[in-house]
Homo-oligomer: A and B are copies of this chain.
Amino acid sequence: MSPHSIPPAPAAYRTLDTNGIRSFLAGVPTLAARLGGPAARWRIREVSDGNLNNVFLIDGPAGGVCFKQSLPHVRVDPAWKMPLDRTFYEAAYLREIRPCVGALTTDVLHFDPDLFVLVVESLDRHVVLRRGLMEGGAWPDAARAVGAFVAHGTFRTSLLAAPFEEVTRRLDIFSGNRTLTRITVDLILTDPYRDHPRNHWISPDLDRIAAEIRTDPRVRRRVGAMQARFLTCRQALLHGDLHTGSVMVSADDTRIIDGEFACPGPIGFDCGLFIGNLLLHLFACRDADGQDRAVRDVAQFWTSFHDTFLELWHTATRQDGNGDAYAAALFRDDPSGLLKAQADFMQDVAEDTIAFAAMEIIRRIVGYAHVPDFDTIPDMAARAERQGTALALARDLLAAPGSTTSIAGLIDLARDRARRYP
């Protein structure tokens, strides 16, 4: 990860164990009141699931909270040292976007800048969308909700909605999230396209396609351009890690969590990661209904994102909004011109989305951090075959970007390629 420097943990920092967590929560009156009753009765369960942080759910007689603490290293690899500031960025992200996405994410209940502790609402009646999908569940509203989340969060932090002074001040805060952005740059945008010891895959089955992806000059050229796009195109504040493991669902509620990778960037990056993970699920699906649902989810996500975003833009223009890009003064009296400008803009977002979705598929099969969706297929040869088909799709999308330029086209192509399974 080649961090430039790891600042030492502040003197007051210590990693809290369950006793420490109990005392900490008891010391914050609003949190103690939310839990209710004597602290000794609170039930504390560790639910750390991601690679980075300690996470605990705490239940009291009156209610529950979710406790998240940064560690001075990667949780799953203590030798991999890391600064503590990631919970700061997650708290900052939630504070920025909560006003526009409402109950599509969680409320920040408390942030402690010495211990790097973030306390948010507990979602203990929810399950992780990825797990829910793997278990064959149907979450008919989840993809629509995630699309609306991306639309609101990115529109409101973009230059379509506000003067550049306000947008730049906000985005510059998240420029500081260098440690986690470095992970994105290395693991998603670079490593799978070079020989690197962090890469791994089912071998020898996938050796050939992995090598083809690393060496195809058309893929390299597109990947180079997407590296530049991710790092130079500051369209909006991104979630930055919007895979199906960052979404919690219940029968009637969807929440997007884990915003610690928040950074400025192109909107298609958030869209591409989410769609990429739905497509990974599609290729791992063992039943036709699940496949149909995965395809429908891609379409519903995109339609929801697209329509919500453009509606927000129309409203801002009608109300003579003060965004500095596509300034309202130019389009207030020219609705058909605005429609064309919006179509151009969305075409760029769609093309970014397709490329980043392809790169997400690739890094989740041949890179460092794989997805568990394929674990439901016990036969390794069968698993590798499906993964190889997904990789070939991703390779083709990057190698010939002009041949698939719409999300509808992407859906058709993916459905075609996945049809041989189950």
Contacts and interface: CB of A to CB of B under 8 A. Distances in A.
A164 B185 contact: yes
Contact of A231 (B190, B325, B341): B325
Interface string A193-224: 11000000000000000000000010011011
Contact of A164 (B224, B231, B334, B345): B231
A220 B330 contact: yes
B185 A336 contact: no
A196 to B, nearest CB: 9
A331 interface: yes
B172 A220 contact: no
A18 interface: no
Contacts of A340: 217, 221
Contact of A190 (B4, B233, B327, B334): B327
Nearest to A179: B165
A370 interface: no
Contact of A324 (B165, B175, B231): B231
Contact of A193 (B217, B235, B329): B329
Interface in A234-276: 234-235
B165 A231 contact: no
A337 B233 contact: no
Contacts of A175: 168, 172
Majority-rule SS of A interface residues: helix
A179 B383 CA distance: 57
B168 A224 contact: no
Interface in A316-373: 324-327, 329-331, 334, 336-337, 340-341, 344-345
Nearest to A194: B329
A347 to B, nearest CB: 11
Place the interface of chain A in its size category: 35 or more
B233 A233 contact: yes
Nearest to A343: B221
Contact of A336 (B217, B326, B345): B217
B325 A232 contact: yes
B194 A228 contact: no
Given A181-B164, A217-B336, A159 B231 contact: yes
Contacts of A327: 190, 193-194, 224, 227
A273 B284 CA distance: 53
A225 interface: yes
A330 B159 contact: no
A327 to B, nearest CB: 5
A34 interface: no
Interface string A39-57: 0000000000000000000
A178 interface: yes
A156 to B, nearest CB: 15
A324 B181 CA distance: 11
Contacts of A326: 224-225, 227-228
A197 to B, nearest CB: 14
Given A165-B178, A220-B337, A228 B330 contact: no
A194 B330 contact: yes
A211 to B, nearest CB: 13
Contacts of A2: 163
5 contacts: A4-B166, A159-B227, A190-B329, A217-B336, A224-B325
Given A164-B178, A217-B337, A225-B345, 7 more contacts: A4-B163, A167-B231, A190-B329, A190-B330, A217-B334, A223-B330, A224-B325
9 smallest A-B Cβ distances: which pairs? A228-B325, A224-B326, A217-B337, A194-B329, A220-B330, A227-B325, A221-B341, A168-B175, A165-B178
Interface of A: 2, 4, 159, 163-168, 172, 175, 178, 181-182, 185, 189-190, 193-194, 217, 220-221, 223-225, 227-228, 231-235, 324-327, 329-331, 334, 336-337, 340-341, 344-345
